């Protein structure tokens, strides 16, 4: 109900008091008292008259006689409380001092009781008490309205930063249910320039506005670095740095950050303090792989002690589902007060008739909540991990569209060089520099355009081949062993950390400035070379094979791909989009 603001007696708009009594003497006596107190009296001769006066203009306070013809004061008050949304204090005035009458009056909706004959000082004190209380309540209402306005502003601000309404990736579905007005759980989804999918789920300690503000520093580096082509370790390391810088101790943020490459089927997961990330079979009945938390939450340790190591998995089946969730989902209490956990979510999903696996899991959560707010914020993301249909890839290979022999072919005339850029990196820079995003940023700055996805992919393959197989001398066949994908990347990280010698020389040259311009990329490493001629273009269609597909992929994307000096030097011509 709306609360009427009572103005002080010295204000121009004086307090309006409705006096309801069938006795003219009593009405005039009360009116005289009120006028002397500085209030304005409005008179009503019976209950119907009182209701009519309220219809015209609601008073600030009512003095209601009890014993009246046709309708008692109790009945009038009951009607007033039902009929009008505006609440005003009502004081019953009666010659009957029985306890039963007082109780009935309070139950009817009255706020206080006065006995006839009315004492002037008691009446004045009671009105003053109501006036003071209502003014205090009005201040509380004003404060509440201000807080609600600030809350709405904060909610809109956080909504803009988290950009949940902009998450529309076809591979991703998500569910977010806060325990209070704000969620301390964060969901973010973005694509790299090569179409690789990055997904972040963060869970700040606690819930409410404080927890929601704690995850704000996470969003900017995630979206910006993903768009520039940084990989998961670089992103999670930067986020950890931001959390350490911006959040006061002992606040921290648990997080899961995953990457899925739909072209290669490689899944990378960093999990720090969140429930395990599950790779589920297509029907959701089998847990294919469990990415457990291997790290501390973000913000706990500094950059030197921070571990950005990933867990890897190579998807070989055509489809699967990655399930990420905060502990608000897995620790949801069931009727027996036991935690729901992943087992409960998946088991309950079997009994749901919803169309998709995601909707069946959400049904389980909603049933357990039973329309009540959760004790903790709940966030859940499901990513459909799907590879291109194998037959389609084979058709592409047979068509020969965009493919060339690995040893190269004519590249046509692209005109004179527009600009060129050279860079030599030694062991120290290779250990700490994210080279491909750096190169892509250079080309973007020069061209004044957005990151080119094809150029990013070609640069990534060329650089990673030079670093992994040239400088670090890694053997891709290691990936075919049991758990070989993770072993390969662990070995790579260890060798890179210990690297003391070696270099990669890169030269970028743009040819032509009209649509169809070409980027000439030269890359030379200090390694021993490899048998590049053995990697035919058709290898790109073989998803079962875990290595040797990079050169084949390059062959489909480059106008020309030429290897020299036993494979230690490569020159690629890539058609690029105009700025």
375 in the same domain as 406: no
- Report whether pLDDT(569) > 90: yes
DSSP class of 299:
T
Q: Provide the number of structural domains found in the chain.
A: 3
129 in the same domain as 47: yes
- Report whether pLDDT(394) > 50: no
239 in the same domain as 309: yes
CA distances from 562 to 456, 457, 567 (A): 18, 17, 9
- Report whether pLDDT(497) > 60: yes
Is residue 158 included in any domain, yes or no? no
Confidence of residue 466 (pLDDT cuts 50, 70, 90): very high
DSSP class of 317:
S
Question: What's the whole-number mean pLDDT along residues 229-237?
Answer: 94
Confidence of residue 409 (pLDDT cuts 50, 70, 90): very low
- Report whether pLDDT(460) > 70: yes
d(CA 159, CA 282) in angstroms, rounded, equals 32
- Report whether pLDDT(445) > 50: yes
| Phi, psi angles (nearest 5°) of residue 502 | 125, 155
State the angle between helix axes of 216-228 and 435-447 in degrees (0 to 180), rounded to the nearest 10. 80
pLDDT in tens, 53-97: 999 988 999 999 999 988 999 999 999 999 998 888 999 999 888
Paired tokens of 430: 């290779």
Confidence of residue 518 (pLDDT cuts 50, 70, 90): confident
567 in the same domain as 434: yes
415 in the same domain as 377: no
569 beta partners: 524, 564
Give counts: helices (H), strands (E), the chain: 17, 22
d(CA 133, CA 152) in angstroms, rounded, equals 28
Which of 338, 357, 387 marks a domain boundary?
A: 387
Specify the CATH number for the domain of residue 307: 3.60.40.10
Range of the domain at 105: 2-139
Is residue 502 included in any domain, yes or no? yes
Paired tokens of 320: 């699967």
Which of 76, 106, 139 marks a domain boundary?
A: 139
pLDDT at 540: 47
More confident residue, 532 or 270: 270
Question: What's the whole-number mean pLDDT along residues 114-137?
Answer: 89
Contact 186, 254 (CB under 8 A): no
Q: Is 353 left (phi over 0), alpha (psi -120 to 50) or beta?
A: alpha
192 in the same domain as 115: no
Asked which of 153-157, 443-447, 505-509 is least confident by mean pLDDT, the reply is 153-157
Is residue 151 included in any domain, yes or no? no
pLDDT at 258: 96
Is residue 367 included in any domain, yes or no? yes
Question: What's the whole-number mean pLDDT along residues 361-365?
Answer: 92
366 in the same domain as 403: no
238 in the same domain as 101: no
Neighbours of 198 (CB within 10 A): 23
- Report whether pLDDT(340) > 50: yes
Which of 106, 139, 172 marks a domain boundary?
A: 139
Is residue 156 included in any domain, yes or no? no
More confident residue, 291 or 441: 291
Mean pLDDT of the chain: 83
Is residue 327 included in any domain, yes or no? yes
pLDDT at 294: 95
Burial tier of 48 (Cβ tally within 10 Å: 0-12, 13-18, 19+): middle
Residue with tokens 């009120």: 34
Is residue 145 included in any domain, yes or no? no
Paired tokens of 1: 């109900």
116 in the same domain as 39: yes
d(CA 554, CA 577) in angstroms, rounded, equals 17
Asked which of 217-226, 244-253, 496-505 is least confident by mean pLDDT, the reply is 244-253
Specify which of 246-255, 351-360, 505-514 reaches the highest per-range mean pLDDT: 351-360
19 beta partners: 43, 63
Residue with tokens 């991703």: 172
- Report whether pLDDT(263) > 80: yes
pLDDT in tens, 4-20: 444 333 443 578 999 99
- Report whether pLDDT(552) > 80: no
Residue with tokens 């009005």: 138
Contact 508, 418 (CB under 8 A): no
Question: What's the whole-number mean pLDDT along residues 302-320?
Answer: 88
Whole-prediction pTM: 0.70
Start-to-end C-alpha separation, the chain: 61
More confident residue, 534 or 518: 518
d(CA 464, CA 472) in angstroms, rounded, equals 10
Contact 259, 197 (CB under 8 A): yes
Specify the CATH number for the domain of residue 568: 3.30.565.10
Confidence of residue 514 (pLDDT cuts 50, 70, 90): low
d(CA 508, CA 442) in angstroms, rounded, equals 10
167 in the same domain as 98: no
Asked which of 31-35, 323-327, 349-353 is least confident by mean pLDDT, the reply is 349-353
Specify which of 136-145, 296-305, 546-555 reaches the highest per-range mean pLDDT: 296-305
DSSP class of 20:
E
> 243-274 burial string, b = 16+ CB within 10 Å, else e?
bbeebeeebbbbbbbbbbbbbbbbbbbbbbbb
Is residue 401 included in any domain, yes or no? yes
Specify the CATH number for the domain of residue 54: 3.40.50.2300
172 in the same domain as 49: no
106 in the same domain as 42: yes
Paired tokens of 330: 């897995």
More confident residue, 146 or 279: 279
């Amino acid at each position: 109900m709306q609360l009427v603001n009572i103005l002080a007696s010295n204000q121009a708009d004086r307090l309006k008091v409705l006096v309801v009594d069938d006795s003219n003497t009593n009405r005039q006596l009360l009116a005289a008292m009120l006028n002397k107190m500085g209030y304005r009296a409005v008179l009503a001769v019976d209950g119907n008259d009182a209701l009519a006066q309220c219809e015209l203009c609601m008073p600030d306070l009512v003095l209601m006689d009890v014993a009246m013809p046709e309708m008692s004061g109790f009945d009038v008050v009951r009607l007033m409380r039902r009929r009008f949304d505006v609440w005003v204090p009502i004081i019953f005035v009666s010659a009957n001092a029985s306890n039963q009458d007082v109780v009935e009056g309070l139950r009817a909706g009255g706020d206080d009781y006065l006995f006839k004959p009315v004492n002037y000082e008691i009446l004045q004190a009671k009105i003053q008490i109501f006036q003071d209380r209502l003014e205090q309540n009005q201040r509380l209402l004003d404060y509440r309205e201000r807080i609600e306005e600030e809350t709405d502003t904060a909610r809109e601000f956080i909504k803009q930063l988290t950009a949940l309404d902009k998450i529309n990736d076809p591979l991703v579905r998500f569910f977010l249910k806060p325990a209070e007005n704000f969620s301390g759980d964060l969901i973010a989804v973005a694509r790299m320039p090569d179409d690789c999918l990055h997904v972040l789920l963060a869970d700040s300690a606690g819930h409410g506005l404080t927890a929601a503000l704690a995850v704000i520093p996470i969003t900017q580096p995630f979206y910006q670095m993903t768009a520039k082509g940084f990989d998961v370790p670089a992103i999670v390391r930067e986020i950890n740095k931001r959390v350490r810088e911006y959040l006061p101790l002992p606040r921290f943020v648990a997080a899961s950050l995953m990457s899925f490459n739909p072209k290669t089927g490689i899944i990378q997961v960093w999990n720090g303090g969140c429930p395990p990330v599950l790779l589920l079979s297509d029907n959701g009945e089998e847990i294919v792989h469990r990415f457990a938390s291997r790290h501390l939450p973000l913000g706990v340790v500094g950059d030197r002690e921070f571990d950005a190591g990933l867990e890897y998995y190579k998807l070989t089946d055509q489809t699967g589902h990655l399930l990420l969730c905060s502990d608000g989902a897995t620790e949801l209490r069931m009727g027996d007060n036991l935690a729901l956990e992943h087992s409960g979510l998946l088991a309950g999903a079997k009994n749901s008739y919803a169309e998709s696996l995601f909707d069946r899991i959400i049904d389980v959560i909603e049933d357990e909540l039973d329309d009540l707010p959760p004790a903790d914020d709940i966030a859940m993301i499901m990513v459909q991990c799907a590879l291109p249909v194998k037959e389609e890839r084979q058709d592409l290979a047979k068509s020969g569209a965009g493919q060339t022999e690995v040893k190269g072919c004519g590249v046509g005339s692209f005109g004179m060089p527009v600009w060129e850029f050279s860079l030599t990196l030694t062991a120290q820079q290779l250990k700490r520099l994210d080279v491909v995003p750096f190169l892509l940023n250079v080309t973007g700055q020069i061209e004044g355009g957005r990151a080119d996805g094809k150029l990013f992919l070609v640069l990534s393959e060329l650089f990673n081949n030079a670093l992994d197989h040239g400088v670090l001398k890694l053997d891709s066949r290691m990936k075919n062993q049991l758990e070989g994908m993770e072993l390969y990347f662990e070995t790579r990280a260890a060798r890179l950390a210990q690297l003391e010698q070696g270099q990669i020389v890169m030269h970028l040259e743009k040819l032509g400035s009209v649509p169809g311009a070409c980027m000439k990329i030269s890359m030379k490493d200090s390694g021993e070379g490899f048998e590049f001629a053995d990697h035919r273009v058709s290898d790109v269609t073989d998803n079962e094979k875990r290595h040797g597909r990079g050169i084949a992929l390059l062959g489909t994307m480059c106008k020309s791909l030429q290897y020299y000096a036993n494979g230690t030097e490569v020159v690629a011509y890539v058609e690029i989009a105009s700025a």
